[in-house]
Amino acid sequence: MTKQIKNVRGQLFDLENFTRLGQGDVSISFIEPPPTSHPEYHATMMIQGCRLDLNHKACLLQFNEHTAGRVLLTLLEGLIFDVKQSTFQVDWQDSNWNNLDWFHTL
């Protein structure tokens, strides 16, 4: 299995009214699966400031005009009270994240 890491900028939007919630740096690890498995992605997102309001929040993560989908953000333990930046685990919620194409276009 091979592993690739990409660091990209992403924007967050509210799922109900599509207002912009913020932007941050997303680090995505892709682990190439065996032929019979789904791809596996792990990601974290760093956002400037203390953003407790985004903890356990489902929102739309957009990388570019063609690559966006629903994610769930969860603050990483031990980093909750950092006032300079907030670091979240990104959980992929949409089936479009199972497609390899989006990762390769970043």
Who's near 20: CB < 8 A, 6+ residues apart? 11, 12, 13
- Which pLDDT does position 77 carry in this prediction? 73
CA–CA dist 35, 26 (Å, integer): 27
Question: How many structural domains comprise the chain?
Answer: 1
Q: Is residue 105 part of a domain?
A: no
Q: Which ranges constitute the DSSP H helices of the chain?
A: 101-104
Q: What is the DSSP track for 7-36? A: EEEEEEEETTT--EEEEEEEEEEEEPPPTT
Q: Is residue 106 part of a domain?
A: no
Report the percentage of the chain scoring pLDDT > 90. Answer: 56
Domain around 30? 3-99
- 51-86: pLDDT as tens digits: 889 999 999 999 999 899 999 999 987 655 667 889
pTM over 0.85: yes
